């Protein structure tokens, strides 16, 4: 039997007296795109932080492709092929758009002093392949014309798209995206939607935290709804859209709703 891409099992995390994540369990099948939604403060980002062990859970286990990754260092988890992006774009200043994308591929480029010997044909070939892939991904999201521009000069939406490209350069087996459409205009959102469809078509499993409901309804196979740290419900987009409890959870947060 193929293992699930991701299993969160009874994850909990409190900050002082506040229970941010409360006994959360869910499973993500390989090759699917799951959207994680819920009102502001529901615990979505904290859940990503627990999965990638940026925060140590108070309780629970995380299985990635059938094996527990609980307690592994975040870099180690990334090295296994579990890649994430952050809610606010993290662009490397002093680097071009293309160089920012290439940073994502570092786990595939040979390490050590030998790798510096760019005159070795094998290293040159590899670099050429990786660069070609970065350029193809930048093209896919409309950033190719800016590949030589300093990444910090890109508009915020473009920086967020670049972060997704950089994450994909790591050739992840599971990709966690935290609000990739936040701050994107309509055409950038359309680029993102196209990119997510392409990612899914390539068999990469994705979990995306997102407030943009039309994007979520368009790309998600399944939706997990978090409210006040716990799983409120889960299901296919058509069912979630009609679920009164979901609508009420969002209304409950008042003007904060997106
Ligand atoms: N490092 C921290 N220290 C203290 N409290 C925290 C910390 N991180 C998150 N929290 C709290 O945990 C709760 C869940 O926060 P979290 O950022 O996970 O929510 P979210 O669902 O990602 O919200 P948003 O949609 O606004 O990004 C919030 O009440 C938040 O204030
Ligand atoms: Mg968040």
- Distance from residue 229's CA to the centre of ligand 1 (Å): 9
Q: Which atom of ligand 1 is nearest to the CA of 43?
A: 18
Ligand 1 pocket, residues with Cβ under 6 angstroms: 15, 18, 20, 38, 40-46, 87
Which residue do the tokens 């870099």 mark? 75
Which residue do the tokens 């010997």 mark? 117
Of 44, 49, 54, the residue with max ligand 1 atoms within 8 A of its CB, to mutate for a pocket test, comes to 44
Domains held by the chain: number? 1
Bridge-based pairing of strands 82-84 and 67-68 is unpaired
Residue 120: inside a domain, yes or no?
no
Task: Give CA–CA dist 21/241, Å, rounded.
Answer: 23
Residue 158: inside a domain, yes or no?
no
Q: What is the pLDDT of residue 56?
A: 97
Q: Which atom of ligand 1 is nearest to the CA of 55?
A: 1
Nearest Cα residue to atom 16 of ligand 1:
43
CATH of the domain at 204: 3.40.50.300
- The parent domain of residue 37 ranges over 6-96+171-256
Query: What are the tokens at 122?
Result: 């094998």
Beta-carbon neighbour count of residue 36 at 10 Å?
Answer: 29
Residue 146: inside a domain, yes or no?
no
Query: What are the tokens at 2?
Result: 């193929």
Residue 163: inside a domain, yes or no?
no
Task: Give CA–CA dist 29/221, Å, rounded.
Answer: 10
Closest residue by Cα to residue 67 from 122, 3, 11, 18: 3
Residue 34: inside a domain, yes or no?
yes
Q: What is the pLDDT of residue 124?
A: 77
Q: What is the pLDDT of residue 257?
A: 43
Query: What are the tokens at 144?
Result: 């190719």
Residue 188: inside a domain, yes or no?
yes
Query: What are the tokens at 90?
Result: 């993290």
pLDDT by 10s per residue, the chain, length 258: 899 999 999 999 999 999 999 999 999 999 999 999 999 999 999 999 999 999 999 999 999 999 999 999 999 999 999 999 998 878 999 999 999 999 998 766 655 555 555 666 777 788 889 999 999 999 999 999 999 999 999 998 999 999 999 999 999 999 999 999 998 999 999 999 999 999 999 899 999 999 999 999 999 999 999 999 999 999 999 999 989 998 888 877 654 444
Residue 110: inside a domain, yes or no?
no
What is the DSSP track for the chain? -PPPSEEEEEEEEEETTEEEEEEEEEEE-TT-EEEEE-STTSSHHHHHHHHTTSS--SEEEEEETTEE-TT--HHHHHHTTEEE--SS--PPTTSBHHHHHHHTTGGGS--SGGGG-TTSHHHHHHHHHHHHHHHHHHHHTT-GGGTTSBGGGS-HHHHHHHHHHHHHHT--SEEEEESTTTT--HHHHHHHHHHHHHHHHTT-EEEEE---HHHHHHH-SEEEEEETTEEEEEE-HHHHHH-HHHHHHHHHTGGG--
Task: Give CA–CA dist 254/87, Å, rounded.
Answer: 22
Residue 227: inside a domain, yes or no?
yes
């Amino acid at each position: 039997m193929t293992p699930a891409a991701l299993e969160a099992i009874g994850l909990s995390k409190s900050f002082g007296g506040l229970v941010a994540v409360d006994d959360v369990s869910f499973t993500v099948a390989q090759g699917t795109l799951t959207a994680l939604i819920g009102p502001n403060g529901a615990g979505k980002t904290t859940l990503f932080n627990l999965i990638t062990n940026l925060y140590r859970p108070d309780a629970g286990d995380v299985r990635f492709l059938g094996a527990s990754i609980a307690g592994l260092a975040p870099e180690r988890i990334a090295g296994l092929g579990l890649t994430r992006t952050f809610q606010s774009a993290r662009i490397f200043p002093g680097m071009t758009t293309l160089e920012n994308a290439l940073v994502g591929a570092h786990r595939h480029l040979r390490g050590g002093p030998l790798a510096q010997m760019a005159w070795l044909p094998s290293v040159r070939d590899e670099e050429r392949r990786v660069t070609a892939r970065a350029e193809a991904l930048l093209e896919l999201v409309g950033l190719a014309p800016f590949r030589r521009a300093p990444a910090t000069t890109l508009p915020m939406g473009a920086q967020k798209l670049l972060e997704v490209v950089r994450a994909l350069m790591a050739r992840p087996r599971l990709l966690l995206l935290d609000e990739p459409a936040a701050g994107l205009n309509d055409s950038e959102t359309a680029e993102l939607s196209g990119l997510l469809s392409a990612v899914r078509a390539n068999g990469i499993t994705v979990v995306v935290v997102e407030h943009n409901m039309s994007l979520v309804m368009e790309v998600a196979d399944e939706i997990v709804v978090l409210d006040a740290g716990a799983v409120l419900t889960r299901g296919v987009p058509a069912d979630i859209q009609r679920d009164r409890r979901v609508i009420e959870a969002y209304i409950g947060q008042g003007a904060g709703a997106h």
